[in-house]
Amino acid sequence: MESNGLHERIKAVRKSLTPKMSQTVFAEALGTKRDTIANYEGGRVIPTDTFIQLLCTKFNISEDWLRTGEGEMYKDEGETLFANFARQYGLTEKEQQAARYLLSLSSEERQQISHYLGLLIRGMQNDDAKKAEVEKRDQAHRMLDAELDAEQKGQSASTSGSSAAKMA
């Protein structure tokens, strides 16, 4: 049932952790049982894709390395941090590309962009404040118009009432 040394690499992951974990502790960390880990490490059972993805995520292991033995055991820490950041904030592919580009710039270039972003944000905040002020004024005008309409209707009713009285 062995899958090209996958069982050996799972065991290598467990043994590489600090502190080293027993099969029982390793299994608990991955939400499974010790017997399952023993079967995976013994090559008697091939792990599910879900298990492999969980192991890789939980212990920062390269999935390519775990499946094939190629490359490094551990993922690049910076890449892992970025992936977690992107996932946490729901960044689109374009937003991730922009963030990666920003991170690749020199400190001076990032400061310039930061300055321009600050100006842009302040401009947007000013626009929002202006829109709120315009909306507030519009609301006041609508209230005044409603009061004037009510007064005019009241006057025309009293005017027509006095006209009717004069006719009688």
Please say if the pLDDT value at position 163 is more than 50: no
Looking up tokens 């941090």 gives 81
Q: Structure tokens of 41?
A: 């490490």
Q: ω into residue 19 within 30 of 0, thus cis?
A: yes
> Average pLDDT of 68-77?
88
> Average pLDDT of 133-159?
82
| Contact (Cβ atoms closer than 8 angstroms) between residue 56 and residue 74 | no
Please say if the pLDDT value at position 45 is more than 80: yes
Task: Report yes or no on whether pTM surpasses 0.75.
Answer: no
Q: Greater confidence, 151 or 28?
A: 28
pLDDT of residue 156: 54
Please say if the pLDDT value at position 76 is more than 50: yes
Q: What are phi and psi of 61, to 5 degrees?
A: -100, 140
pLDDT of residue 88: 87
Q: What mean pLDDT is reported for the chain? A: 86
Percentage helix, strand, coil for the chain under 3-state DSSP, each rounded to 5: 75, 0, 25
Q: What is the pLDDT of residues 111-140, one digit of tens each?
A: 999 999 999 998 888 888 888 888 888 898
Q: What is the DSSP letter of 31?
A: T
Amino acid at 65: W
Q: Helices then strands (H, E): number in the chain?
A: 8, 0
> Average pLDDT of 14-32?
93
